[in-house]
Structures are given as structure tokens and as C-alpha cells.
Amino acid sequence: MKIKLSRLRKIINEELSGHLNEAAAAGDAAKDEDKRKVASLEDEIKRLNAAIHAATVKKAQIRADSASDNLNTATQNAQKSAATAAVAESDTYDVDNILYEDDLQEIIRKTKEKDEWCLSSIKGDKNLGCYGSKKGAKKREKQVTYFKNIKKK
């Protein structure tokens, strides 16, 4: 069987064109699939970045809360130390007759000059009353505590 060279070229060109068109179509489909994958990965990156941001904010909030708690504890300890130091340096009060209550913010002291019991704030800036007996001062302390707890409710 004899085929003319021109006919052979035509057949080869048709076959090559067909294969090239198929490859181009397959390439377009592959490009579209790659674009979908890239878009999906970009969405995943956005979601992960949002989750990282939320976790960072939560971590910062926890640190801030912890710092606030530490500051409150340090402030209370400093106030107690300041009150103790003020009482120790004072000539007016008998240091041996000071009553401390850990859960209260008041101090009952016995004065040297007037021989009475005085209730004052732990900071020392408020006098809550002076009484002739320790029992009277304790009664007043209970009243102050009661009214403090009412304000919290």
C-alpha cells in the first residue's frame, strides 16, 4: 500500500492536532482544579489566621486577668503592711492590744491616752468609732461588716 507523502503529512497533522487539543483541554481542567485548590487553601489560611488571632486575644485576656489578681493581692498585702508599720511607729496606740481579723478590713486598737477601744479602717484613714470596752468595738465591727455585705448584694 502506497500513500502519498502529502496524505501522510495530513494524517499526522490531524492526529497531532487532535492530541494537542486533548492536552490543552486536559490542561485547562487541571488549571481549573488547581485554582479551586488554591482558593480552598486560601480560605483555610484565613480561618486559621482568625483562630490564631482569637487564641492570642484569649491568652492576652488571661494574662491581664492574672496580672489584675496579682495586683489586687499585692495591693492588699501592701495595705496591711502599711497599717502594721503605721501602728508600730505610733505613740498613741498600744501595739500589744491590736486585734487583726484576716477577712475584715478594720482594726480594733486600744488607745493609751484615753483608755478606749477604737475601730478604724486598715488603711488608717477612717475612724469608725471609739468605745469604752472591747466588746463595744467588736459590736461596731460586726455592724460595719454587715453593711459592707449588704452593699455587695
User: Under 8 Å CB-to-CB from 127, ≥6 apart: which residues?
Assistant: 118, 119, 120
DSSP codes joined into one string, the chain = ----HHHHHHHHHHHHHHHHHHHHHHHHHHHHHHHHHHHHHHHHHHHHHHHHHHHHHHHHHHHHHHHHHHHHHHHHHHHHHHHHHHHHH-SSB-GGG-EE-TT-SEEEEEBSSS--EEEEETTSS-EEEEESSHHHHHHHHHHHHHHHHHHH-
Give the tens place of pLDDT for each residue, 116-147: 888 888 777 788 888 888 899 889 888 888 88
pLDDT at 91 exceeding the cut of 50? no
pLDDT computed for residue 100 by the predictor: 46
Q: How confident is the model at residue 102 (pLDDT cuts 50, 70, 90)?
A: very low
pTM of this prediction?
Answer: 0.34
Give the tens place of pLDDT for each residue, 23-51: 787 777 777 888 888 888 888 888 888 88
CA 106 – CA 117 distance, rounded (Å): 13
pLDDT at 94 exceeding the cut of 50? no
pLDDT computed for residue 15 by the predictor: 85
Mean pLDDT, residues 16-24 taken together:
81
